[in-house]
Amino acid sequence: MFSMQLEYWWAINQLPTLRETFQFSEFIFLVLMTLTLFLTAALLLPSRSEDEAQGLRVYFERDGRFALLCITVFLLCGFVLNVVGFNSPVSSTWAITDIPMIVLPALAFLLRERKFYAAITAIYVPLAALDIWISLSS
């Protein structure tokens, strides 16, 4: 989660080099992406001690897993912004890694079993590292 926040912050800071001005609707879209990323982080861990009483795994399986949907929405919005807002080709390297990164959290949300969480995480972590490398090298 922290690496996604850093990567997003890096991208936001690079926006003035891509375009001088943005329309209000584009600005609102970026604000909504920021809020989605915040909501993801807020849902990931409990904010009340009562939620921790039965353990973090129970919390995540009951309530925290909704963070998976939020991260899916965040990544999907980023994908749309790159393709529509910045005219990036869908066949580019970043898109090839982003598509499974969008699908895997939603899949984990739907499957709801620990064995699937482990397999999806084993696929997702190297993809996230590759995505960071691609972002930093371009």
Tell me the per-residue pLDDT of 37-75, one tens digit each, with 9 for 90 and over: 999 988 888 877 777 778 888 888 888 889 999 999 999
**pTM for the model:** 0.84
The per-residue pLDDT for 119 is: 94
Q: What is the pLDDT of residues 75-115, one digit of tens each?
A: 999 999 889 888 888 888 888 899 999 999 999 999 988 88
Q: How many whole angstroms separate alpha carbon 44 and alpha carbon 47?
A: 9
The per-residue pLDDT for 9 is: 83
- Sequence-distant (≥ 6) Cβ neighbours of residue 38 within 8 angstroms: none
Residue ranges per structural domain of the chain:
21-137
Is residue 24 helix, strand or coil? helix
